[in-house]
Amino acid sequence: MIRYTLKCDHDHAFESWFASAEAFDKLSAAGMVACTVCGSARVAKTLMAPAVRPARKAGAPEAPHPETAQAAPAAAPDPAGIIAALRRAVEQNSDYVGKDFATEARAMHEGEAPERAIWGEARPDEARALIEDGIEVTPLPFMSPRKTN
């Protein structure tokens, strides 16, 4: 997994996780990466500073930093665990509507269907049209339960 700091063409900055650099490139080229604020699909990576440890002197033992010497080191967050927890929460608290997501979201927005939490699948053009019409949607970082070939 790799975390990128991203910025849309409206200068909204946000972060997202990807399986690899190639996965980001492929999803971005397909219009599947969208701004979490405005939904714009014109997203680019921004300059990032990687977390790099300072060099150690040869033969010298590494001394703990005075501020962290007494505290136990915090475990790095597990992206897969976070995504799995998010998936469980979404599945338990919303209805899966599959490929009817755009139709259902629009019907709720227009008052033709009762409002409820839903999730499903939408083509990039459908998602873009929903956003342009003021219907709030957010891409999820996991695939649907529908079997694909």
Residues 86 and 130 in one domain: yes
Strand partners, 6: 14, 45
**Total number of domains constituting the chain:** 2
Q: Is 53 a domain residue? A: no
Lowest pLDDT segment from 20-34, 68-82, 124-138: 68-82
Q: Which domain holds residue 92?
A: 79-144
Residues 135 and 89 in one domain: yes
Q: Is 58 a domain residue? A: no
- 65-113 pLDDT, tens digit each: 555 555 555 667 777 888 888 888 888 999 999 999 999 999 999 999 9
**Which phi and psi angles does 123 have, rounded to 5°?**
-70, 155
Residues 43 and 84 in one domain: no
pLDDT greater than 60 at residue 121: yes
Across all residues in the chain, what is the average pLDDT? 81
Written as six digits, the tokens of 112 are: 């033709």
Residues 86 and 41 in one domain: no
Residues 92 and 140 in one domain: yes
pTM, rounded to two decimals: 0.48
Q: Is 55 a domain residue? A: no
Angle at 80 between CA 145 and CA 94, to 5 degrees: 40
Q: Is 135 a domain residue? A: yes
Handedness of CA 114, 118, 120, 121 (dihedral sign): positive
Q: Is 149 a domain residue? A: no
